[in-house]
Amino acid sequence: MFTKMLLLLLAFCTLSAGFASEKLIIAHRGASGYLPEHTLESYTAAYFMNADYIEQDVVMTRDNQLVLLHDIFLDRVTDAAFKFPNRFRIEADGSKRWRVIDFTLAEIKKLNVTTGFRTTDAPTKQHDRSQTTAIWPERFPIWKSGFRVATLAEAIELIQGLNKATGRNVGIYPEVKNPSQFLIEGKDISLAVLKELKKYGYHKKSDKIFIQCFNPIETRRIAEELLPKLGMELNVIQLIAKTSWNESYSIIDGKLIPYDFGWMLEKGGMKKIAEYADGIGPWKSFLLDTKQSARTGLTLLPMISEAKKLGLKVHPYTFRADEGRILTPAKDFEDMVSMFFYDIGVDAVFTDFPDRAHKVRR
Ligand code: G3P
Ligand code: CA
């Protein structure tokens, strides 16, 4: 009797552990709920908060170096506008912006990185960065300490170094950011990212890496042209955005035209993605009816079942614990993560708070 109970208990523990480990935590821009995004400090914190993967958004400098910033601009998270007041471009909407592609790595390394602030503060208050307003006032205080922009190589060496020191195998999750913005200026950022990944030993499906991109023309190019050309096979994730965010552009007749993501939300959209990708990274609101108030008997949108039927991994973004970021009908952050993991059935979540998501998983 005792042996039987012990066996049952062991079977339960094994099943629970297996179920839990199927759910992945991707540290969104590192542990960005606690430290300035995409800094090595933020990645280190995420590493020790039990993230399975740590995300890197990758952009390119004037001298073709790969650096980690969410935007193609420097002016939301660095003091570029204060240190280099005349190095802006006037964008199509008339705003002054400081673009990564206009700076060398050596110049970018001189900048301080901080928690994100309103970019409209920079041009008008060029000589007084203390007047800037944090986007997340409850997070790490603005302009404190001494953070720097990291390169992709530095981030990989950090994570691989920690893997060696701890015996763990935490993965990386690089995103090729706005490739058309670089291609139109003669820079093949996707090819450069893949070459860097290969250099650091990521080249086969079983390696702990996902490569992601919003631009479907480029994601397909990565999967069908660039990876085979480089003798690599990696898991590729197609990100899905709302068209109105202008997250992606096509190059048509030498001009950048906002990309229409509409087809991805229509019937058959997942089938097209499954032709070239291993999974999707949708905005989390694309997966369920967000107007429902009952936590039980959730009404899901077709995307998730269609993706699952085709064997696509589903990694929605972004799970934040800050005020106003809890998606109904969840009651708080933990409930939201639990709802997506265990009621909706996603495979992973991108989160700014990997420690709290890990607690839900346990
Ligand atoms: O890449 C997926 C996730 O990071 C959400 O997108 O805009 O934060 O890069 P974003
Ligand atoms: Ca990203």
pLDDT per residue as tens digits for the range 274-317 = 999 999 999 999 999 999 989 999 999 999 999 999 999 999 99
Has 203 been annotated as catalytic?
A: no
Q: Which of 43-57, 108-122, 210-224, 245-259 has the lowest mean pLDDT?
A: 108-122
* Res 129: pLDDT: 83
Has 70 been annotated as catalytic?
A: yes
CB distance 43 to ligand 1 below 6 Å: no
- Give the 3-state DSSP-derived string for the chain, with helices as H, strands as E and coil as C: CHHHHHHHHHHHHHHHHHHHHHCEEEECCCCCCCCCCCCHHHHHHHHCCCCCEEEEEEEECCCCCEEECCCCECCCCECHHHHCCCCCEECCCCCEECEHHHCCHHHHCCCCECCCECCCHHHHCCCCHHHCCECCCCCCCCCCCCECCCEHHHHHHHHHHHHHHHCCCCEEEEEECCHHHHHCCCCCHHHHHHHHHHHCCCCCCCCCEEEEECCHHHHHHHHHHHHHHCCCCCEEEEEECCHHHCCCEEEECCEEEECCCHHHHCCCHHHHHHCCCCEEEEEHHHCECCCCCCCCCCCECHHHHHHHHCCCEECCECECCCCCCCCCCCCCHHHHHHHHHHHHCCCEEEECCHHHHHHHHC
pLDDT per residue as tens digits for the range 174-190 = 999 999 999 999 999 99
Nearest-atom index, ligand 1, CA of 283: 5
The protein residue with its alpha carbon nearest to ligand 1, atom 3, reads 317
Q: Which of 76-85, 103-112, 128-137, 207-216 has the lowest mean pLDDT?
A: 128-137
Among all bound ligands, the one having the nearest atom to the CA of 317 is: 1
Q: Domains plus CATH for the chain?
A: 2-71+149-361 (3.20.20.190)
Average pLDDT of the chain to the nearest whole number:
93
